Structure formats: structure tokens, C-alpha cells
């Protein structure tokens, strides 16, 4: 080709146009991927930004982590009503007032940096210190049932342990989860923390969740959800924490304070319309006190269904192909009854009915305020039935009894992560019972009620031949 001045000029302007085009597209991608307040369109960009933030956090003093956590606690407390209302509106599940309490529990009772206790060996050979060190970037998969509560609680614990977090929320709780991430990011920034310590993606999906789990920069995966996601992270080949489903029974024997047991059970079962994995999902009652227990439950907001035909109709309505029908998960008892043709007031919080131990309502984790009651001849039979209903999930169980031998046998035999004696289920997560709160209860992988130390690696530093003053 003959390169004269004219066609050289044409070539240059063509190249300039191409470069401009490229610039525009790159900038466009960059705008989206930049991720205002930690929300990114690209999984890979979100992870790389979180990785940069974690390096800054780990290089900073623990004092910064403390400031960040204090700021998150303050700002989420201030936004508790907004987040609770948004979650109920978006997911169509649960009760606003109970969700406010859940946010307060996450804010007030999730342990921070103080949870990272060091351990030492010392002697003639010197001093060895065991310390809890960050993993790096954690991928945290969160549920639709406690969307923002889980994000808040995990963010506090995971940051306390020095990590950054990429949240993979349930698509059905996208807005609530993104709003929580947004508030947390602003709180971190206010406290002088790095940008993008807590990030998420603009379009949550199972595909994007799997991309997060597989990314080599994700050093730990934490799944809070049903059996599918727990199985998936446990087979990811990475350090995984799995917090899965439960089917908690409440056993009541003849020595219990029946009036209190009835109230505790209804309070626990109706809390957030039974969405918590820890809530009472069925009652196992010793025959001699069952009628009185039912009577007391009715005094505390239970509606008793006696007619088998209506119970069968209820079953057809709230179950779909053997699983809970999502249209009724987390709904008010009065709404469920209305769809059954029964009109009741808002004072009705739970639907109760007597069933056998194999009934679908008893063996499935329904996540709605329907409570089957199973009669047994005595407490020992009750323990066996409760164990069967819990189905080896090792999650949560309640007992109402004053017999020390029965309390002990139940606690040993049930093998659950949480065992509540003489109280409502939520006292097991620090609401009205001693101990801290968490919304990630890891039965399958054994961490139990997770806190900062669950999100940290145990590392050993050995100084040979000195520093011991024994
Ligand atoms: P879910 O299992 O439908 O979803 C949970 C999360 O996992 C979501 O982010 C979802 O997108 C993702 N997910 C689901 N299947 C997946 C798969 N195959 N691969 C990758 N990601 C997947 O649960 P949900 O309905 O949102 O929440 C209710 C369930 O979670 C109940 O079973 C409840 O008991 C359980 N839960 C357990 C705890 C606990 O601490 N143990 C806490 C809250 C909820």
C-alpha cells in the first residue's frame, strides 16, 4: 500500500475511533463494576476488591476492627425497622416486630474481636502461642428467612477475625441483603475502614453463588440455608462451614410447669412466623398432661384443628410434592386459616393439631406456624419419638421437665447443637437465655453457634528457648 499523507491520516483517525470505542466500553464496564457501596455486577471484580480490602484490614491494628464493628452495630440498630419492614415486604415472610428483635440480637449479642482468645504453651523449650488468624476473603451464602440478620451477624464475626466477605444472598431477598451491605459499607467507611470489606453482587443467583464458591481467592465458604447449599459447600474442596436445616421438637413431660411450657412453646413457635431454623416445629407430650397443655396453648394464641378432613385440607394446601409450599412459608397463622375458610383475629399465632409421629406436618421442616402435637405414654418414649423427628440433623431441641434424669437423658440422646430446657426456642440463641447470638448454627460441620473464632485459622508461633518465666 502506498502510504501518502492522506491515507496515513485516514488510518490514524480509524485507529483513534477504535480506541475511543474501546475506552467507552471499558469505562462503562468500570462504572458498573466499580460497585457503589460494595455492590458489584461482576463476581470476579467483587472478590478482587474484597481481597484488596482484607489486606488493608489485616495490616491495620485490632483497634480499627473494633471501631468498624462499633459503627456497624450503631448503624444497623438505627436501620433495624427499615430492614425488618423491607424483608417482610420483599420476601412476604415473617413478622416485622420479631425481625426488629432479631436485628437487635445480631447487633447487641454477636461477639467481636474479644472472641479471639490466644492460647499459650510455655516451658524449658520456650514459648509457643496459638493465635486465631484470618482466612482472607470469605464467601458467605445467606438465606431468605433471616436475610439481613445473617449478613449483619456474619459481617461482625468475620471482620472481627480479620476477613473480608463476599455475600451471596438468596435471590428472593436481594433488595434487603443489598441494603444491609450498603449500610454496613457506609458504617465501615465512617469508622475509617477500607472500602469493599463487605461486598455482594447486583444479581444474586445460584450460578453466581457457585462462581463465588469456586473462585480461588475465596479461602472459606460459609453456607446458611437448606440441605442443598450445605451439601454443595461441603463438597467444594475448601474449608466450609455448613449451617443447615432443623426440625426441632419440644418434649413436655408430666413434671413440667405446664402453663409456662404452653406459653414458651407458642412464643417460640410463632416467633417470626416460625422462620428460624431453631423454632419449635412439633410438640411431643406425655399423655397425662396433653389435654391440659393443649388447653393452655389455646389460652396463649393457639387455634386447635380437630377435624381430620380440615387437617387433610390444610396438608394439601401447605405442602407441595412432599415439601412445604413456599406460598405459605413464614405466613401468619390467621392467613393460613383464612385460606382454609376459617376467620380468626390477629391474636391467633399458631395452628395446633394432634397427629402421629409419621405425619407429613411433623416430619417436614415446615417453617410456618403450624404445630403438630404427638402423644406418648411417658417421657422415655417421648425421647425416642423426639429423636426420630429431629432426624439426625443435630440442630435444636427443647424440653420442658423438672426431672433431672429426663433432662439429662434427653440432652445426651438428642445430640443437638442447641438444647433448650424450660424456655422458648429463641433463648437458645441468646434472646432471654445466657450466651451470645448467631444466625449461623453449624451442626453439619460442627462449629455449632458460630462466632468470630469460627471464621479464623488456628496458627502456632514457636519461640525456642526463651521468654518463659515459669
Ligand atoms: P435455601 O437453601 O433455599 O437458600 C439458602 C441460600 O443458598 C440462598 O442464598 C440460595 O440462593 C442458596 N442455594 C440454595 N441451593 C443452592 C445450591 N444448590 N447451590 C448453591 N447455592 C444454593 O434456604 P432458605 O429458604 O433461604 O432458608 C431456609 C432454610 O435455611 C431452612 O432449611 C432453614 O432451616 C435453613 N437455615 C439454617 C440456619 C442455621 O443456622 N442452621 C439459619 C437460617 C436458615
Distance CA 275, CA 92 (A): 12
Residue 240 Cα, ligand 1 centroid: separation in angstroms?
Answer: 15
Distance CA 298, CA 74 (A): 39
Q: Does residue 328 register a pLDDT over 50?
A: yes
Task: Give CA separation, 204 vs 144, 168, 174, 207, in Å.
Answer: 12, 6, 7, 8
For ligand 1, atom 16: residue with the closest CA? 229
Place of cell 385460606: 339
> Mean pLDDT throughout 340-361?
97
Q: From 359, 377, 390, 370, select the one nearest 278 (Cα to Cα).
A: 390
Residue 332 Cα, ligand 1 centroid: separation in angstroms?
Answer: 21
- Model confidence over 143-168: pLDDT tens digits? 999 999 999 999 999 999 999 999 99
- Model confidence over 75-113: pLDDT tens digits? 999 999 999 999 999 999 999 999 999 999 999 999 999
Report the largest interatomic distance among the alpha carbons of the chain, rounded to a whole angstrom: 106
For ligand 1, atom 22: residue with the closest CA? 229
Residue 245 Cα, ligand 1 centroid: separation in angstroms?
Answer: 8
Band the pLDDT of 18: cuts 50, 70, 90.
low
Q: What pLDDT was estimated at residue 322? A: 87
Strand partners, 435: none
Residue 306 Cα, ligand 1 centroid: separation in angstroms?
Answer: 33
Return the ligand 1 atom nearest residue 169 CA: 9
For ligand 1, atom 9: residue with the closest CA? 170
Percent of the chain with pLDDT over 90: 91
* Least confident segment among 18-27, 339-348, 357-366, 432-441: 18-27
- Ligand 1: which residues within 6 Å by Cβ? 141-146, 168-171, 206, 209-210, 224-226, 228-229, 232, 243-246, 277, 365, 439-441
Backbone angles phi, psi at 445, to 5 degrees: -100, -5
C-beta atoms surrounding 345 within 10 Å:
7
Residue 121 Cα, ligand 1 centroid: separation in angstroms?
Answer: 41
- Model confidence over 210-235: pLDDT tens digits? 999 999 999 999 999 999 999 999 99
Band the pLDDT of 134: cuts 50, 70, 90.
very high
Residue 248 Cα, ligand 1 centroid: separation in angstroms?
Answer: 17
Backbone angles phi, psi at 374, to 5 degrees: -115, 125
Q: What pLDDT was estimated at residue 10? A: 63
Return the ligand 1 atom nearest residue 395 CA: 41
Domains of the chain: 36-244+450-460 (3.40.605.10), 249-434 (3.40.309.10)
pTM of the model: 0.92
- Model confidence over 183-214: pLDDT tens digits? 999 999 999 999 999 999 999 999 999 999 99
Q: Does residue 31 register a pLDDT over 90?
A: no
Distance CA 116, CA 133 (A): 9
Amino acid at each position: 500500500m502506498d502510504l501518502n499523507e492522506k491515507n496515513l491520516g485516514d488510518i490514524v483517525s480509524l485507529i483513534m475511533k477504535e480506541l475511543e470505542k474501546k475506552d467507552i466500553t471499558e469505562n462503562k464496564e468500570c462504572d458498573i463494576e466499580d460497585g457503589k457501596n460494595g455492590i458489584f455486577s461482576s463476581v470476579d471484580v467483587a472478590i478482587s476488591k474484597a481481597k484488596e480490602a482484607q489486606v488493608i484490614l489485616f495490616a491495620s491494628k485490632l483497634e480499627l476492627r473494633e471501631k468498624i464493628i462499633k459503627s456497624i452495630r450503631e448503624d444497623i440498630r438505627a436501620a433495624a425497622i427499615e430492614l425488618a419492614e423491607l424483608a417482610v415486604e420483599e420476601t412476604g415472610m415473617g413478622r416485622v416486630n420479631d425481625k426488629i428483635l432479631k436485628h437487635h440480637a445480631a447487633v447487641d449479642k454477636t461477639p467481636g474481636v474479644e472472641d479471639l482468645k490466644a492460647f499459650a504453651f510455655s516451658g524449658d523449650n520456650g514459648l509457643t502461642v496459638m493465635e486465631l488468624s484470618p482466612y482472607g476473603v470469605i464467601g458467605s451464602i445467606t438465606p431468605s428467612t433471616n436475610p439481613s440478620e445473617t449478613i449483619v451477624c456474619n459481617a461482625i464475626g468475620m471482620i472481627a477475625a480479620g476477613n473480608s466477605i463476599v455475600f451471596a444472598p438468596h435471590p428472593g431477598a436481594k433488595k434487603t441483603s443489598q441494603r444491609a451491605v450498603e449500610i454496613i459499607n457506609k458504617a465501615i467507611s465512617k469508622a475509617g475502614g477500607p472500602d469493599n470489606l463487605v461486598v455482594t453482587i447486583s444479581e444474586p443467583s445460584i450460578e453466581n453463588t457457585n462462581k463465588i464458591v469456586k473462585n480461588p481467592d475465596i479461602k472459606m465458604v460459609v453456607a446458611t440455608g437448606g440441605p442443598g447449599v450445605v451439601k454443595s459447600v461441603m463438597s467444594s474442596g475448601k474449608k466450609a462451614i455448613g449451617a443447615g436445616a432443623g426440625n426441632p421438637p419440644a418434649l413436655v413431660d408430666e413434671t413440667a410447669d405446664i402453663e409456662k411450657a404452653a406459653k414458651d412453646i407458642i412464643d417460640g413457635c410463632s416467633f417470626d412466623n416460625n422462620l428460624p431454623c431453631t423454632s419449635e416445629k412439633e410438640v411431643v407430650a406425655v399423655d397425662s398432661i396433653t389435654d391440659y397443655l393443649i388447653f393452655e396453648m389455646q389460652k396463649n394464641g393457639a387455634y386447635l384443628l380437630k377435624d381430620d378432613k380440615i387437617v387433610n385440607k390444610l396438608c394439601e394446601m401447605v405442602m407441595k410434592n412432599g415439601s412445604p409450599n413456599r406460598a405459605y412459608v413464614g405466613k401468619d397463622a390467621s392467613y393460613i386459616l383464612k385460606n382454609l375458610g376459617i376467620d380468626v383475629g390477629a391474636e391467633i399465632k399458631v395452628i395446633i393439631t394432634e397427629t402421629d409421629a409419621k405425619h407429613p406436618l411433623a416430619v417436614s421442616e415446615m417453617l410456618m406456624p403450624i404445630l403438630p402435637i404427638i402423644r406418648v405414654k411417658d417421657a422415655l418414649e417421648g425421647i425416642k419419638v423426639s429423636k426420630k423427628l429431629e432426624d439426625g440433623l443435630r440442630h435444636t431441641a427443647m424440653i420442658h421437665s423438672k426431672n433431672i434424669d429426663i433432662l439429662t437423658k434427653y440432652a445426651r440422646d438428642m445430640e443437638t447443637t442447641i438444647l433448650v430446657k424450660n424456655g422458648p426456642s429463641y433463648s437458645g440463641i441468646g434472646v432471654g437465655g445466657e450466651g451470645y447470638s448467631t444466625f449461623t448454627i453449624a451442626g453439619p460441620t460442627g462449629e455449632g453457634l458460630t462466632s468470630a473464632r469460627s471464621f479464623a485459622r488456628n496458627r502456632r508461633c514457636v519461640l525456642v528457648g526463651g521468654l518463659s518465666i515459669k
